[in-house]
């Protein structure tokens, strides 16, 4: 398994074209949140906004609109119970992330099916948290032709792969991933998170126990959304998104016993600027 080098950050995060506008940085739809889990939707969408997605729409339950609008005024809101509007948004966004705080209600199951049934080749679907639990429990096939990125923690991967945590070896993870969808990317979240794609596997050597805080994975989903929206779907983009989350986490951990997801989100623009400048200096 190859270790992901920090140089990937300088390669992926490049200075912005002065003549660009929000349309150049991708439209993203995040389907997240429920009565019980509003915070997950807020963290995922503010991570997407702060990591540079051009335009972010958050589809959630209307009772969370005012909290979302007051915390992340940059994001637009959509009621995910409105099937017609939701379908329009699924068709019109380049990146669709689904799952953080969604819960496993019948509405949530319908949302996961709507995404998998209506996305196409030029789109990316990021499946996290409750979306993965639903896919495992309802045995929903990953049939979309869109790029798929799954981000389970070891417990979610156990549900999806039927592999107990001690059985989650490199060889068995490949086998289980290919049985689910041979072209999907798996990000297996743990201490030293791993990426599996086709016959390749990678690991980050960043991240710390201060990051063991609720909402940390929801934040990673938002960063992946922001990165794929603006830098495009590629293995390098995915590696950079996974790495920057933990690299910022490590910088904060030097002076903080606990690393809050919202603090990582706050630092994204500053560190992305630093990594983009390092590219300029090298050239």
Ligand X SMILES: Nc1ncnc2c1ncn2[C@@H]1O[C@H](COP(=O)(O)OP(=O)(O)O)[C@@H](O)[C@H]1O
Residue ranges binding ligand NAX (CB under 6 A): 37, 39-40, 100-102, 129-130, 133, 153-156, 190, 214-215, 217-218
Length of the chain: 283
| Pick 81 or 267: Cβ nearer ligand X | 267
| Pick 41 or 238: Cβ nearer ligand NAX | 41
Q: Check the annotation: does 45 bind a ligand.
A: no
- Binding-site member from 30, 78, 108, 216 for ligand X (CB under 6 A): 216
| Pick 34 or 124: Cβ nearer ligand NAX | 34
Cα–Cα dist 128/185, whole Å? 12
- Asked if 126 and 221 touch (Cβ cutoff 8 Å), the reply is yes
| Pick 62 or 155: Cβ nearer Mg ion | 155
Q: In whole angstroms, how close is the CB of 13 to ligand X at the nearest point?
A: 19
- Considering only the stretches 118-126, 167-175, 185-193, 262-270, report the one whose residues sit in contact with ligand X under the rule CB under 6 A: 185-193
For 19, other C-beta atoms within 10 Å of its C-beta total: 6
Q: In whole angstroms, how close is the CB of 37 to ligand NAX at the nearest point?
A: 3
| Pick 78 or 127: Cβ nearer ligand X | 127
Residue 58 near ligand X by CB under 6 A: no
Vertex 36 angle, CA 32 and 41, to 5°: 25
| Pick 76 or 180: Cβ nearer Mg ion | 180
Longest dimension (CA), the chain: 53
Collapsed DSSP state (helix, strand, coil) of residue 16: coil
Write out the binding residues for ligand X, residues 196-215 only, by CB under 6 A. Answer: 207-209, 211-212, 214-215
**What is the pairing mode between strands 124-127 and 95-98?**
parallel
Please identify which residue in the block is written with the tokens 């032709």: 145
Binding site partner of 101, from ligand NAX, Mg ion, ligand X, none, Cβ cut-off 5-8 A by kind: ligand NAX
Binding site partner of 207, from ligand X, Mg ion, ligand NAX, none, Cβ cut-off 5-8 A by kind: ligand X
Collapsed DSSP state (helix, strand, coil) of residue 2: strand
Cα–Cα dist 22/28, whole Å? 12
Per-residue contact string for residues 107-136; x = within reach of ligand X by CB under 6 A: ----------------------x-------
Helices (H) and strands (E) in the chain, counts: 11, 10
Of 101, 12, 72, 39, give the one whose Cα is nearest residue 266: 72
38: tokens are 């509003």
Binding site partner of 102, from ligand NAX, ligand X, Mg ion, none, Cβ cut-off 5-8 A by kind: ligand NAX
Q: In whole angstroms, how close is the CB of 40 to ligand NAX at the nearest point?
A: 4
For 49, other C-beta atoms within 10 Å of its C-beta total: 25
Q: In whole angstroms, how close is the CB of 1 to ligand X at the nearest point?
A: 16
Please identify which residue in the block is written with the tokens 């398994």: 1
18 phi and psi angles, rounded to 5 deg: -55, -30
Of 12, 229, 236, give the one whose Cα is nearest residue 122: 229
By CB under 6 A, name the binding residues for ligand X. Answer: 129, 153, 189-191, 193, 207-209, 211-212, 214-218, 220
> Which residues contribute to the annotated binding site?
40, 101, 153, 189-193, 217-218
């Amino acid at each position: 398994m190859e270790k992901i080098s920090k140089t990937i950050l300088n390669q992926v995060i490049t200075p912005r074209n002065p003549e660009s506008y929000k349309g150049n940085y991708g439209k993203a739809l995040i389907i997240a949140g429920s009565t019980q889990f509003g915070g997950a939707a807020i963290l995922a969408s503010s991570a997407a906004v702060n990591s540079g997605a051009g335009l972010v729409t958050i589809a959630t339950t209307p009772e969370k609109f005012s909290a979302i609008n007051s915390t992340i005024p940059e994001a637009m809101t959509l009621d995910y119970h409105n099937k017609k509007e939701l379908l329009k948004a699924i068709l019109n966004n380049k990146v669709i992330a689904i799952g953080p705080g969604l819960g496993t209600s019948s509405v949530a199951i319908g949302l996961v099916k709507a995404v998998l049934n209506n996305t196409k080749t030029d789109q990316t679907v990021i499946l996290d948290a409750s979306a993965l639990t639903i896919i495992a429990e309802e045995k929903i096939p990953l049939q979309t032709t869109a790029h798929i990125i799954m981000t389970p923690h070891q417990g979610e991967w156990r549900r999806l792969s039927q592999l107990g945590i001690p059985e989650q070896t490199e060889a068995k993870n490949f086998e289980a991933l290919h049985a689910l969808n041979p072209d999907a990317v798996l990000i297996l979240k743990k201490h030293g998170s791993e990426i599996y794609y086709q016959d390749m596997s990678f690991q980050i050597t960043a991240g710390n126990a201060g990051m063991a805080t609720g909402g940390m994975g929801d934040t990673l989903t938002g960063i992946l959304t922001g990165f794929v929206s603006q830098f495009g779907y590629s293995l390098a983009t995915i590696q950079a998104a996974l790495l920057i989350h933990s690299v910022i986490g490590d910088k904060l951990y030097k002076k903080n016993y606990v690393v809050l997801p919202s603090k990582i989100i706050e630092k994204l623009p500053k560190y992305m600027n630093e990594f983009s400048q390092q590219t300029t200096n090298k050239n």
